Amino acid sequence: MQEYKGQIDGHGQRIGIAVAQFNEVVTDRLLAGAVSALQQYGVRDEDITVVRVPGAFELPRAAQELGQSGKVAGVIALGAVVRGATSHYDYVCSETARGIADVSLHGPVPVMFGVLTTDTLDQAINRAGGKAGNKGADCAAGVLQMMHMSEWLSR
């Protein structure tokens, strides 16, 4: 039996991060967590490309273009959608998740979903470096693991 668990090693890896500007108080924390974790795993600053987009809805396109650019071997998509009084939340969450999943499944590089979908701003902040950890940092480890798995399987 062969079993493989992807390494979490960023040495020599190039990572793209697409980050939504909307809810920047949260997304800046997610980005800081992702960058810090990538650095801890050995990714050099010059090998991290950050692309800022208006909101979560634009993340799938940014992730797709980063992945197809040939400049990165993995992508992290970061955003925060906080429930409001209208159904806008449901549409944005659904289409953002579907779009990022499509890019991850059909694109040339692994894509990690780091979009928080919460009922309150406090919940989002807690998941962006507060009591519940930092989803950006989690995505950094995840994208490296998926990249190494893909490399291993293609040998």
Please, which residues have CB within 8 angstroms of residue 83's CB and are 6 or more apart in sequence?
89, 118, 119, 120
Q: Which string of DSSP letters, residue by residue, matches 90-148?
A: HHHHHHHHHHHHHHHHHSSS-EEEEEEEESSHHHHHHTEEETTEEHHHHHHHHHHHHHH
Q: Is 19 annotated as a binding residue?
A: no
Q: Is 57 annotated as a binding residue?
A: yes
Q: Is 65 annotated as a binding residue?
A: no
CA 59/CA 19 separation, integer angstroms: 7
Q: Is 127 annotated as a binding residue?
A: yes
Residue with tokens 């050995």: 42
Q: Is 22 annotated as a binding residue?
A: yes
CA 99/CA 58 separation, integer angstroms: 9
CA 68/CA 103 separation, integer angstroms: 10
Q: Is 82 annotated as a binding residue?
A: yes
Q: Is 97 annotated as a binding residue?
A: no
The one catalytic residue among 11, 88, 106, 148? 88
Q: Beta 15-20 vs 48-53: how paired, if at all?
A: parallel
Told to judge if 106 belongs to the known catalytic residues of this protein, a careful annotator would answer no
Annotated binding site, which residues?
22, 56-58, 80-82, 85-86, 113, 127
Positions marked catalytic = 88
* Binding site residue list for 5-amino-6-(D-ribitylamino)uracil: 22, 56-58, 80-82, 113
Residues belonging to the binding site for (2S)-2-hydroxy-3-oxobutyl phosphate are 85-86, 127
